[in-house]
Amino acid sequence: MLDFDTAQNRLVQAGTRPEIAERVTVDQARGRILANNVSAAINIPPADNSAMDGYAIRFADFQEGISYPIQQRVYAGDLPQAIQPGQAIRLFTGSLIPEGADTIVIQEDCTETDGKLHINVAPVQGQHVRFTGEDMPAGKAILLKGTVIGSGQIAILASQGVTEIDVFPVPKIGILTTGNELAEPGQPLHAGQIYNSNASMLASLVKQLGSNVVRIVHAADTLEEIQDAISSLAEECDLVLTVGGVSVGDKDLVKPAIEASGGDMEMWRVRMKPGKPVALARLKGTPIVGLPGNPVSAYAVFTLMVSPLIRTMQGRTEVLPPLSYGRLDSQQDYQGDREEFLRVKAKSMPDGVLGLTPHAQQGSSIISSLAWASGLARIPADTKIAGGSTVAYYDFNLWGY
Ligand code: AMP
Ligand code: MG
């Protein structure tokens, strides 16, 4: 059985990075992945301007006790005259710095009487000037290929006057749920049945990553139905996720169905808890990940193992889920021969440490723990972890970034 990190790395390698790009408007680009490096086309700011409301002077003209005739009033967007020696120009935040002026005196440090300025606090040369290109010099790389476009990246692009960018296509993902016992939400629940919660849960997780579920299929526990569904999903999608039927029970037919369709098993079973039965296969070039049916296992495997694969297929530079560290707030010691992922609720403590409280029910069928938890605490295999220890923590809210 593979250890967790090796298996996670296999999943990263199983994804093909995109080679083509598509053009989208910047306003539609949120959550997409940049397909090219972007360099600054213009200096930001494009010209020296004032950071404050006040007056521009030539620093060399400053003397205590003298006054300065006010030559001009310049609002943001106006073009100033060159400043005359011994004079001041009134300006405001964002006003261009007049040629010859080099220092801004803020209005709180001045008095203006009869069109003349008196400076009450000695200025420092160059103060309150925003210099051309100090934010983004023309030609400098400002965004790198593989970056997720968020609000800050959109601000950069808009500040450069850019309206369209090249992003990678969104991978098309298909989901296959399996099990004779499953009923669809909205349908009556007959004796022996449970509702199919994994389909909606996985579709939501895929969306949270900025990808797209193109088809969801359900198959009963027969080789024929599962085989048909896998073949057609593999044809249509860039990645197929199956859920359930991947363990060692009589009705665990996902592996046999993949093999009967001519697919290759690349990996099966990982030393992790929950999620041990996870499988990786390939059918006619399309990767297939078999997730365990228990909802908590499916959720954990998706976030820890499937998300790195999807991130690779999206063209992201950062493919592993972001990690932080916290203190396990538990009386219990943990030790096992598998990497264990506990559903925990994180809370910032007064000492500045992130406290991680495990959910009381860590069973892999406890769906209610998924909404309660803020993330997963990682307990390394074959290591005794006492309550109060510092452990790695995966925050559910960071998976989309
Ligand atoms: P399996 O891996 O198919 O043996 O399923 C393990 C457990 O997960 C069983 O209790 C199943 O009823 C349950 N399960 C499987 N698929 C789903 C699903 N789509 N939604 C909710 N529970 C499921
Ligand atoms: Mg099943």
Which ligand sits nearest to residue 221's alpha carbon? 2
Report the pLDDT averaged over residues 89-112.
98
Report how far residue 244's alpha carbon sits from residue 194's, in angstroms, rounded to the nearest whole number.
13
Tell me the β-bridge partners of 49: 96, 130
The whole model's pTM is what? Answer: 0.95
Give the orientation angle of helix 4-13 with respect to helix 307-314, to 10 degrees: 30
From atom 16 of ligand 1, which residue's Cα is the shortest distance away?
A: 293
275 lines ligand 1 (CB under 6 A): no
Q: Which of 180, 194, 197 to mutate to test the pocket of ligand 1 (most atoms within 8 A of CB)?
A: 194
Q: Please state whether beta strands 103-106 and 339-348 pair in parallel, antiparallel, or not at all (unpaired).
A: unpaired
SS3 39: strand
Give the model's pLDDT for residue 399. 76
Is the pLDDT reported for residue 71 higher than 80? yes
Q: 212-227: per-residue pLDDT in tens?
A: 999 999 999 999 999 9
What CATH architecture applies to the domain 49-130? Beta Complex (2.170)
Q: Regarding the domain with residue range 22-44+134-167, which homologous superfamily does it belong to in the CATH classification?
A: Molybdopterin biosynthesis moea protein, domain 2 (3.90.105.10)
295 lines ligand 1 (CB under 6 A): yes
| CATH annotation of 4-18+170-314 | 3.40.980.10
Atom of ligand 1 nearest to the CA of 196: 20
Q: Give helix then strand counts, H and E, for the chain.
A: 8, 27
List, as one string, the DSSP characters of 83-141: PPTT-EEEE-TTPBPPTT--EEEEGGGEEEETTEEEE-S---TTTTEEPTTSSB-TT-E
Which ligand sits nearest to residue 365's alpha carbon? 1
pLDDT band at 207 (very low <50, low <70, confident <90, very high): very high
Give the model's pLDDT for residue 398. 87
324-399: what CATH class? mainly beta
**Radius of gyration of the chain from its Cα atoms, rounded to whole angstroms:** 30
The full set of domain ranges for the chain reads 4-18+170-314, 22-44+134-167, 49-130, 324-399
Report the pLDDT averaged over residues 151-163.
98
Give the model's pLDDT for residue 382. 97
Give the model's pLDDT for residue 401. 62
Q: Per the structure block, which two tokens stand in for 343?
A: 């559903």
For residue 204, give the H/E element and its range.
helix 198-208
Q: 112-132: per-residue pLDDT in tens?
A: 999 999 999 999 999 999 999
Q: Are 193 and 203 in contact (CB under 8 A)?
A: no
